[in-house]
Amino acid sequence: MNSSQAPRAGARALFRPQLIALAAAALCGAAFAQEATKPAAKPGAEAPEVKELEAVVVTGTARREGVRKLEAGFSITTATEEQIKQAAPTSTADILKTVPGVFVESTGGQSNANIRVRGFPTPGDGPYSTFQQNGAPLYALPALSFLEHSQLFRLDDTIERMEVLRGGPSPIFGSGQPGVTVNFIQKDGRNPEGSLRVTTGTGDLKRVDGVYAGPLSDKWTVMVGGFWRQSQGLRDTQFPADDGGQLSLVLNRKLDDGNLQLYARALNDRNAFYTAIPVVGSADGKSVSSYPGFDASTAYFYGNELRNIVLETGRATGRTLPNGKPEILRSTVTKDLAEGRGATVQTFGANLDTRLGDWTLTNKLGHTGGDVPTYALFSGANPQTLGSYIASQVTAANGDAGVVAAAGRAATGGTATFTNGGGAITNMAMPVIVNGMWAVDKTLRSTTNETRLSKEIAPGNNLTVGLYLAGYSSHDVWTLGQAQLMTVQPHARLIDVALDNGVKASRNGYVTPPFSFDLDASYSGDTRAFFIADEWQLTKALRVDLGARRETQHITGSIANVSNGDLDNDPTTLYNNNLAYFNGSNTLIDSKLSRNSFTGGANYAFSRELSAFVRVNKGHRMPDFDVLRGRSANEAKAPVEDISQYEIGLKTATKLYSAFLTAYANKLTNSQTQQFTNAGNVVLRPNSKATGLEFELALRPGMGFEIAATGNFQDAKYEDFQQYSGNRVERAPKFQARLTPSWQTQTAYGQLRTFATFSHVGERFADQTNTLKLPAYQTIDAGAVFTMDSGLEIRLTGTNLSNKVGLTEGNFRVPGQAVGQDGVFLARPLFGRAYELSVGFQF
């Protein structure tokens, strides 16, 4: 089980020059493109009122031509390429901060976001969010342990627009996601353009983006683009926190009565992953500040001393030792924390849109495969003094008769030294912390195909029938729970502890972990779903639609069983006396489940600029591999989550203003949640309900000014859920909002646009116990972009300009843990003040 970093490092070394060459090729290609003789109009540069009134969305619609955003009988948020850039997202998932009803925690880095939708309960990841590329899911299941979809995708200049569907008809189409579907639609060359830009910024950021899109012949167009980026990160790690890039290719062919699109994308990126750090809460619980010597905005435990981890594991040989214990063949797992929570994946797809007589045929095929590891520090319990930690080890050693017998006597005390030089530690009041060092390897495969046939069966009545097929797998190898004792400071130092009777409480900083869990599992699954939808324009103003879906899922798997024991058969080495090892037996999974979903809605257009809709849907969330793994053998209830949603909305847009309002209510039954805590894997089955109001507003008084506001009022609570009934759903703010004023003007040299965003996130509770309250916080972002008539573009953005210490989660590893001594507790804060400057050329 020893691992090597060489293959990934070699791949990156090959990947980087390819991306730089790509940018140069894009620049040269433009010189020979006929359409490039005159700069094309920049996407999204049309007047805002035109975008609002005429924007056509395709996500969540049965018709191949899509539907005007104002006429859609559901809630959908759209963003152009420019709007995505203006939001200055720190990661792919972070762009969802612009979507009302969605609360995204993107403080873990480029990957590992926690995405919450309309008060749906989840301790982490994004089980109610599905990311699509050109209409095809990146992975058939919405989430797995240590994986959410944004880990498989990076934002770059190849994206034409984003569409985010919330609720609505989503349980019927595609993968049947009842929460939020995020569809990134790439450029395909039908609108010729090209650009090359370089970016620098906080964390010694170096980034190159390039894209070229244009014709190959009278029927073929192409888009090729990507990026390469290296950065020390928004937290100081002493090593590159983000390193890698992405390549994309899209080929598009115009057919006699339709279109064929082929696309491919290769992502090779590694990203440091951050968890909770110590902070200090105020006496009234309404604010937080940095722990002494540990800047909450920029500091982290990572450093060169912690970077490379070596974890112990083993497999039983089947033989028994003379002392009656099983013989264990020991091995080690070596990982680099700089690899973090990255991805080396390839995505391929083909979209066909044509006619077969009176029928319209659309087919979306997508495939994703590759490796998505997580090597990271996972926070432990609150800090304590070194003296109290040594005392706890004395108590633990003396409480084990085997340890005392092997040592010859009980311990009365102990000593500590820095692991990597520095000598003995005499300050027993020095704060220390036990943090987990975890390694997760996942190899994923997913192939999805959605076929739709549509026909107008009567004037104004369109019938759609479809078939969704998916096959997917995952091979997981985990080593979880092993922990190291370290100082509470940036670039933490490791500590070794020895007791005065010869017992070794640690090895190279590794100490007795709170829990230990290993996994070696292979899973595979397939999903088949048939759906039917009917849309009827009853009158010029009234359109109704109905849809139903029958889905069947079959999952199988093999899991190597684990026992805990003394890996080296030496009781005096406390640190590995109770570690996990594979005992030679296996557990098999074989689950087959079916469920029905439906939706019904109506949209009434009072005028071309004003409409209202109502919607009801009933969907479900089928179990994923980890839900089935964590399910108790005696659970009688099927691990399927049922979700009911009700919506009523109002949409209006004119030259002066636009308003999109959606009131919603939902009820979730038998939610499937689990989290690895210091007590091991905790499996919960909560029920909940929520009501809320989402809003997207914009006012355009003229003279280039616009004021936009988005947000959500929400009340989400648990019900019929053990002792937690009536508690607020964890980490779901009652109110969040973004206010974005902007101004643009035309100068003698080009267009200047300035903007700022004021964000508010209301208070939340850290977990279902509602013990620790996370205070409300406000942030300020701002930026400016100057697009010259020559094609040169200069863009400057700043995020969290007030350097606010806002918390997105508490101590995930210890649910119910309150504030400790002197107001100290563990939480994951926002990234501090950061800037980016990019200079680009458009052609």
Span 45-70, pLDDT tens digits:
445 444 555 677 777 777 767 778 88
The string of DSSP letters for 240-301 reads -SEEEEEEEEEEEEEETTEEEEEEEEEEEEEE-----EEEEE-TTSS-EEEBTTB-TTT--S
Strands 374-378 and 384-385: unpaired
Q: What is the pLDDT of residues 451-493, one digit of tens each?
A: 999 999 999 999 999 999 999 999 999 999 999 999 999 999 9
Answer yes or no: is pLDDT of 34 > 80: no
Q: What angle do CA 590, 593, 595 make, to 5 degrees?
A: 170
Strands 343-356 and 258-271: antiparallel
Answer yes or no: is pLDDT of 186 > 80: yes
Mention every residue, 6+ apart, whose C-beta is less than 8 A from residue 442: 144, 146, 147, 371, 372, 373, 374, 474, 475, 476
Both tokens assigned to 350: 């083909």
C-beta atoms surrounding 185 within 10 Å: 18
Residue ranges in 184-248 assigned as alpha helix (H): none
Q: Contact at 8 Å (CB) between 59 and 182?
A: no
Higher pLDDT: 821 or 373? It is 373
Q: What is the pLDDT of residue 18?
A: 42
Q: What is the pLDDT of residues 235-286, one digit of tens each?
A: 999 999 999 999 999 999 999 999 999 999 999 999 999 999 999 998 788 8
Q: What is the pLDDT of residue 54?
A: 65
Burial of 395 (0-12, 13-18, 19+ CB in 10 A): exposed
Higher pLDDT: 28 or 630? It is 630
CA separation for the pair 269, 230 (Å, rounded): 10
Under the banding of pLDDT at 50, 70 and 90, the label for residue 10 is very low
Q: What is the pLDDT of residue 437?
A: 96
Both tokens assigned to 165: 């569907």
SS3 of 823, please? helix
Sign of torsion over alpha carbons 348, 353, 354, 359: positive
CA separation for the pair 119, 664 (Å, rounded): 11
Answer yes or no: is pLDDT of 198 > 90: yes
Burial of 290 (0-12, 13-18, 19+ CB in 10 A): middle
Q: What is the pLDDT of residues 104-115, one digit of tens each?
A: 999 999 887 899
Q: What is the pLDDT of residue 803?
A: 96
CA separation for the pair 611, 52 (Å, rounded): 13
Q: What is the pLDDT of residue 16?
A: 45
CA separation for the pair 139, 347 (Å, rounded): 10
Provide the phi-psi class of 722: left if phi over 0, else alpha when psi is between -120 and 50, else beta: left
Under the banding of pLDDT at 50, 70 and 90, the label for residue 297 is very high
Residue ranges in 766-829 assigned as alpha helix (H): none
Q: What is the pLDDT of residue 633?
A: 60
The residues that bridge with 807 in the sheet, in sequence order, are: 829
Q: What is the pLDDT of residues 67-90, one digit of tens each?
A: 788 888 888 899 999 999 999 999
Q: Contact at 8 Å (CB) between 226 and 19?
A: yes
Q: What is the pLDDT of residues 779-791, one digit of tens each?
A: 999 999 999 999 9
Rg of the chain over all Cα atoms, to the nearest angstrom: 28
Q: What is the pLDDT of residue 4?
A: 41
Q: What is the pLDDT of residues 731-760, one digit of tens each?
A: 999 999 999 999 999 999 999 999 999 999
SS3 of 816, please? coil
Q: What is the pLDDT of residue 677?
A: 80
Answer yes or no: is pLDDT of 9 > 70: no
Torsion of CA 139, 140, 141, 142, to 10 degrees: 60
Q: Which domains, and CATH codes, for the chain?
A: 48-379+437-518+529-631+645-842 (2.40.170.20)
Under the banding of pLDDT at 50, 70 and 90, the label for residue 634 is low
The string of DSSP letters for 114-182 reads EEEETT---SSS-TTEEEEETTEESSSSSEETTEEGGGG----TTEEEEEEEESTTTTTSTT--SSEEE
For the chain, the average pLDDT equals: 90
Under the banding of pLDDT at 50, 70 and 90, the label for residue 5 is very low
Both tokens assigned to 52: 């609002």
- What's the mean pLDDT in 782-802? 96
Answer yes or no: is pLDDT of 635 > 80: no
